[in-house]
């Protein structure tokens, strides 16, 4: 299988994170039909549930990322809780094949997880 895709940020110019559902639908239709994507990584946080429904519909594999970004003052327990909540919420989506812990994890975070 050849992986072809990119990273999707759930934000839009002048709207920020308050994206209407039709933009998410338009994004995934474009990714599937015009760009021939078969893989998308959510950027730095879980996206809204509609995004995973669309990935299931279009057969796009997802790497869902937790909101654990370098230099955040979250404890390991908080980061672990975020992962649990994300996985519980989205575990029934066949398109999600990976759950990422962080975009740029710190060495301390990695050592605490080992």
Q: pLDDT by residue (tens digit) across 88-113?
A: 999 999 999 988 876 655 555 556 65
Question: What is the DSSP-derived secondary structure letter of residue 54?
Answer: H
pTM for this entry: 0.81
- Spatial contact of 93 and 51, defined as CB atoms under 8 Å apart: no
Rounded Cα gap, residues 78 and 96, in angstroms:
22
pLDDT digits (tens, 9 = 90+) for 29-53: 999 999 999 999 988 788 889 999 9
Which helix (H) or strand (E) segment is 39 a member of? strand 39-42
Nearest partner of 65 among 89, 88, 98, judged by Cα: 98
Q: Are 37 and 31 in contact (CB under 8 A)?
A: yes
């Amino acid at each position: 299988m050849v992986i072809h895709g990119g990273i999707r940020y759930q934000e839009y110019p002048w709207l920020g994170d308050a994206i209407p559902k039709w933009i998410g639908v338009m994004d995934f239709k474009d990714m599937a039909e015009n760009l021939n994507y078969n893989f998308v990584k959510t950027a730095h946080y879980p996206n809204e549930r509609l995004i995973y429904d669309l990935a299931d519909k279009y057969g796009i594999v997802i790497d869902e990322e937790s909101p654990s970004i370098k230099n955040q003052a979250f404890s390991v327990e908080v980061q672990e809780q975020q992962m649990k909540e994300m996985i519980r919420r989205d575990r029934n989506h066949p398109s999600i094949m990976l759950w990422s812990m962080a975009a740029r994890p710190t060495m301390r975070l990695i050592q605490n997880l080992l």
